[in-house]
Amino acid sequence: MDAIVTAGGIPTPDEALYEYTQGQSKALIEIAGKSMIQWVFDALSGAETIENVVVVGLENGDGLTCEKPIYYIPNQGGMIANAQAGARKVQELNPQTEYVMAVSSDIPTITSEMIDWAVQEAMQTRGDIYYFVVSRETMEARFPGSNRSFYQLKDLAVCGADMHISTIHTLLDEEGLFARISDARKNAFKQARIIGLSTFFHFLFRTKTLDKLAEHILKRIHLTGRAVLSPYAEVAMDVDKPHQLEQLRADLEGKAAA
């Protein structure tokens, strides 16, 4: 399987991380002696399930290294556009590729083991999309005080991960989910129509378990797959706020010292 690393985020002056980036890519923020994205590259380098790495949002020559073949694509101006550009590059590299992993550049504590686990867990079935989540208990045990945002369901509270797997076809379908999300990005009414008002009802009143809610949403958007509960908090521990950055710096510096 190939991996798409999205690295197009550049904090603006009104955002909290701007003092750390000063107009540069968030992916290049230094953490424990390496850029944030280099930690992700290190994890991908050691993952047995990953063949090629496509990076969207950075230019070649940023001093980054990866043991897997790596390909750079300029920022396309948006998260969905970046993911689709990465998918097209993967398809160019290997027209027979069926599945691709999309991973954010701002989850520096992930490891090769976690990546291999995610691929092996997803590939037990043959769905269109696999959406990874982490429970509140798992996140708070690993990163106490991280202040992630959680969705309370009937059986547990979860936050979304920053690493998912889908088919190339699902990403590039001109009439599919990602095309509709891109079209609706500035229209709240269109966004609501994609997943349906009944889905908001289930979220609001916590009427469904994780598995049942995933089944409901997938049926609504005409896709197959499942939500996957990850035992690894690291796949959802991204850097959105300064306190999260400092928490991960302390975590990785502690590991380096050990």
Q: What is the 3-state secondary structure (H, E, C) of 39-54?
A: HHHHHHHHCCCCCCEE
Query: 202, 190, 171: which is closest to 86 by C-alpha?
Result: 171
87-100: pLDDT as tens digits: 999 999 999 999 99
CA distance 79 to 57: 10
Q: Give 37-89 pLDDT, tens digit per residue.
A: 999 999 999 999 999 999 999 987 668 999 999 999 998 888 788 889 999 99
pTM: 0.91
3-state secondary structure of 220: helix
Q: What is the pLDDT confidence band of residue 137, given thresholds at 50, 70 and 90? A: very high
Q: Which domains does the chain have, with CATH numbers?
A: 2-257 (3.90.550.10)
Distances in whole angstroms, Cα of residue 74 to Cα of each of 18, 78, 89, 194: 21, 11, 12, 29
Largest CA distance in the chain: 51
